[in-house]
Structure 1
Amino acid sequence: MGEVNGSLDVLGDKGAVDVAVAASEGIARLEAVRFRAIAQLGRHRDGASSVVQEVAFALSVVDGHAGALVSVAEALTTRLPRTLGLMDRGVVDGFGARKVAAATSWLSDEDARAVDVLLEGRNSEQIRKAASHAASTVDRDGASRRTEHHRAGRRLVVRQGEVGVASIEVEDGPVEKVTAAYTRIDREARALKTGDEPRTLDQLRADVALDLLLGGQGGKRERCEVFLYMDLATYLGVNEDPAELAGHGHIPASLAREIAAGPDTVLRRIITDPLSGQVLDLGRDRYRPTAGVGEFVRVRDRECRRPGCHRVAQACDLDHVVPWQFGGHTNADELIDLCRRDHRLKDEPGWTYRLAPDGTLTVTTPTGQTYDSSPPPLHEPRVADEPPPF
């Protein structure tokens, strides 16, 4: 790598551009190889979910990205051979190929191939427009089907952002409802923008939208739960160790204390092993009923235990690692949290799950690859003779 970087230093501007172009063409060719390999895996495996999860594991990508790779690989190797050929020539990259696959997804195989023939190498936005135009040309009567297809794909998505922030988005919502919702949000935000209001209009729109979702703005507010993991020393301000918000990740100590000081906050004592940081027990000192095994397992695991899945444990299923019908026991040593999708995946052919005494979960995929998952410690392990931090 050092030799390559050194050789690039002597290039002029034109030489640098030539190298960038050559690298991009090489990447496109490698992406074509990757799509063919993924498509072959799909042909040899029953169950799309199993293939998606295997790809997510192997390539260390999130499930949504893995699903898109599997879908595009299938389209390129069956319906879009010309686009795949353009990738082999380095003319179209993987991003452009995904645009073509999306623009032709609602077409029949015959019409998709007809569109594929009409395309030529362009940048990704030109490819998207060209593919959409060609699809409309091939199937002039398909506007209703296209609209129905896109509206049927509506979904709500949460995206974790930088520390302490996240986004919630309605993707492909009905245009009339999205427009009406924005109009209401904007109207209420502008009504709050008085002379002494320090928030910007954008900030007010965001706050109004979240308040409406949570039942605010004069309506009955729903009781919502978030799970914040913070040690006592951080809560008391003795140190500034980061806390963890389930489903999001680490947040600064100052933000954690602000959340913990909320008027509706319920604090719960969690007992940990000081040497390992692992959860041992839940304290009973709170006004709600005492916790059962299920609550302990969810607090211990914090997220879905399938490696790479970050679905918060409180939204997951409790699952026996050893199936109940085969002698499994309903206790904390044999229960784990799995989101509904991964719960179903566990029962598909070729997938095996083993839980070691130390809590390490080992997942073996149908191709024999193994991946480990352990509950993260609640705090950094401490030396045996180290005094408490307060």
Structure 2
Amino acid sequence: AEHHRDGRRLTLRQGETGVASIEVEDGPVEKVTAAYTRIDREARALKTGGETRTLDQLRADVALDLLLGGTGGTTERTEVFLYMDLDTYLALNDDPAELAGHGHIPAALARHIATGPNTVLRRIITDPLSGQVLDLGRDRYRPTAGLDEFVRVRDRECRRPGCHRPAQACDLDHTLPWQHGGHTNADDLIALCRRDHRLKDEPDWTYTLASDGTLTITTPTGQTHDSTPPPLHQPRTQPTPAEEPPPF
């Protein structure tokens, strides 16, 4: 496994007129699997009734768009499902582990993936008799239906100042990118229309979300703009002692 992973490389092959191929060969299985899962998920989301491209064409288009739209060179967190017992994780044995979508991998490689600097461990509770999964942690990329609804109701509109597109027609995005340490919770998610979502991913734009929901956008020139979700009602003042009703 170490020998093959050390031989990872990117190759470009020129084809017939107007086409070429790019391939990551012998890449780390956890990153390749997570990359393919993300590409496939976004391709399938685009496969609506009016879409004429095949899934293979959509996957190729999505992969190239992601490559061209990213900043490149940064370490990204990956989301894969690695099945290993506690003794293997603690190096008390060398039983193989299983990586979903790939198969068995050596114990040493499984421990390397599980303890990497960008790994997020999720709690998985199993039934001690049947081994069936009973519960798992919730720190994952996509928000739950309840969290999705909460953020859209809170924000009401696209959070870029001056944009009034309804939040229900917007994307939800992490202010701090999930792959760079962001979390999928109400303190890190905002509603952005597709145009402003793409703008956010351009270099040197910074988005910071405060605990009260105030979003501060810093442009590449250093200018800052604040956006606060409008309250559902006007703030109510506390009554003075003279205005308080008498006690019962």
TM interval, shorter chain, is: 0.3 to 0.5
Question: Counting helix residues as a fraction of each chain, which structure ranks higher?
Answer: 1
Structure with the greater alpha carbon radius of gyration: 1
With a CA cutoff of 8 Å and minimum separation of 6, indicate the structure with the bigger relative contact order.
Answer: 2
- Using the size of structure 2 for normalisation, the TM-score is 0.38
Q: Provide the TM-score with structure 1 as the length reference.
A: 0.24
Q: Which one has a larger percent strand, Structure 1 or Structure 2?
A: 2
